Amino acid sequence: MQAAATAQSKLLDVQSVDTAIAQLEHRRRSLPELALIAEKQQERRRQGEELIAANTAVSDLELELDKAESDLEPVRQRLERDQQRVDSGSVTDPKQLNALLDEIAHLKRRISDLEDVQLEVMERHEQATAVRDGITAARAAGEGELRALLAARDEQLGELDAELAQHRGVREAAAAQLPAELLDLYDRIRARSGGIGAAALVRRRCSGCQLEANSSDLARYRAAAADEVLRCEECNRILVRTADSGL
């Protein structure tokens, strides 16, 4: 392929801009905030699941508390009625009175047992509520941290996108000055060569693969016409001759 030496030199300008664009795109993909945001979002999902479980536990214990109270209430009422009968002196038969006193003693024991159950459920309800409140507070704090990270990410992405737009504009203008065939070859090589399609020959060394040309390759480079598009024998990139090539 032939292309004017000036066009080949401008190809290095395009490569320089493409390298800058690639670096900006890499920075855009690897902002530290991105990993932190993903971590916070995963933590938020986990906390959401924990909060659902905690709310369910609190609700279940509230039902247990209601049941404990409903179990206690009729026993207390029965005890109150029996105690009133004893206190009023309306029961005069000794046998009936003893039976009533035995029932009162039984009801008191039953109330004591039910109150123990109620107290145990109240303690578990208090613990479950504390767990739920702790998760709620942690989730709220995490939301604040996540919002701050999202704001920092958006600010940096905005700056990087502005730089990218500027560089892409420069690239478009520089590429427009190149022969279409040369640009197409460069783009194809760049796509399969780690983003570098053209490299300068500097002091007999390819700046793409960093390998020094051997004597026979150097002789071929010296003999080539100025408009001949050279390719590095090692990395196959377009090799652009410069004043510092050492030829």
The answer, yes or no, to whether residue 92 has pLDDT greater than 90, is no
What is the C-alpha to C-alpha distance for residues 81 and 87, in angstroms, rounded to an integer? 10
181-236, pLDDT tens digit by residue?
Answer: 999 999 999 999 889 999 999 999 999 999 999 999 999 999 999 999 999 999 99
Could you please state the CATH topology (level 3) that the domain comprising 31-165 is classified under.
Helix Hairpins (1.10.287)
The domains of the chain are located at: 5-25+179-241, 31-165
For residue 208, how many other CB atoms are within 10 A of its CB?
23
The β-bridge partners of 201 are 206, 241
Residues 6+ apart with CB under 8 A from 226: 5, 241
2-24, pLDDT tens digit by residue?
Answer: 999 999 999 999 999 999 999 99
The β-bridge partners of 199 are 239
Give the DSSP per-residue string, the chain.
Answer: -B--HHHHHHHHHHHHHHHHHHHHHHHHHT-HHHHHHHHHHHHHHHHHHHHHHHHHHHHHHHHHHHHHHHHHHHHHHHHHHHHHHHHHT----HHHHHHHHHHHHHHHHHHHHHHHHHHHHHHHHHHHHHHHHHHHHHHHHHHHHHHHHHHHHHHHHHHHHHHHHHHHHHHHHHHTTS-HHHHHHHHHHHHHTTT--EEEEETTEETTT-PBP-HHHHHHHHHS-TTB-EE-TTT--EEEE-TTS--
pTM comes to 0.73
Give the DSSP per-residue string, 189-214.
Answer: HHHHTTT--EEEEETTEETTT-PBP-
131-152, pLDDT tens digit by residue?
Answer: 999 999 999 999 999 999 999 9
**End-to-end Cα spacing for the chain:** 21
The answer, yes or no, to whether residue 89 has pLDDT greater than 90, is no
* Confidence category of residue 78, pLDDT binned at 50, 70, 90: very high
What is the C-alpha to C-alpha distance for residues 237 and 247, in angstroms, rounded to an integer? 18
